[in-house]
């Protein structure tokens, strides 16, 4: 059995308790079963189709407006905003525009999570002395602050 010992995913997923980083065992099977029944069922996916349609139309209108004014478009930001909009409307029933999340806080949070997951930790590769490098580079303090 391969167990993911990387510090970033372990700390971000509360010691591998989420579906993405949990080891393949009975806990993961139960978590997957619940997700398939409650979140990923055909009925649930089809129920958010109007939300997806509305948000994609908004994205297309935004890109068309930028094209007509000949201003550049950052597609990474647009697709991240699309994803966040669909998830917020589906999960909470409201758009994140005009809320606290609109001030790029959510985008910053997602980017930091990706950086957190992809950060190199010397202690993962040198278990006996790598923690020294993590302390010197500030990685350990950054992870403790972010968690």
Q: Is the pLDDT of residue 126 over 90?
A: no
Rounded Cα distance, 38 and 143, in Å:
32
Q: Where are the domains of the chain?
A: 48-103
pTM here is: 0.60
Structure tokens at 38: 């409650």
pLDDT at 63: 94
Split at pLDDT 50, 70, 90, the class of 61 is very high
Q: Is the pLDDT of residue 18 over 70?
A: yes
- CA atoms 72, 76, 81, 83: torsion sign: positive
pLDDT above 90 coverage of the chain, percent: 20
Query: Residues 70-115: pLDDT tens digits?
Result: 999 988 888 888 888 888 888 888 776 666 666 567 767 777 777 7
pLDDT above 70 coverage of the chain, percent: 86
pLDDT at 60: 95
The secondary structure of residue 14, as a DSSP letter, is T
- Provide mean pLDDT across the span 35-60: 90
């Amino acid at each position: 059995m391969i167990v993911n010992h990387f510090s970033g995913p372990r700390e971000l997923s509360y010691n591998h308790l989420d579906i993405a980083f949990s080891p393949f065992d009975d806990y993961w099977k139960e978590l997957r079963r619940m997700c398939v029944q409650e979140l990923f069922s055909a009925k649930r996916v089809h129920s958010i189709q109007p939300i997806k349609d509305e948000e994609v139309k908004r994205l297309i209108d935004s890109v068309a407006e930028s094209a007509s004014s000949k201003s550049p478009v950052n597609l990474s930001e647009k697709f991240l905003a699309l994803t966040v909009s669909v998830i917020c409307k589906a999960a909470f029933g409201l758009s994140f525009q005009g809320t606290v999340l609109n001030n790029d806080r959510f985008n910053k949070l997602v980017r930091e999570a990706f950086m957190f997951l992809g950060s190199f930790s010397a202690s993962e590769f040198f278990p006996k002395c790598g923690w020294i490098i993590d302390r010197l580079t500030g990685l350990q303090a950054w992870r403790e602050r972010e968690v």
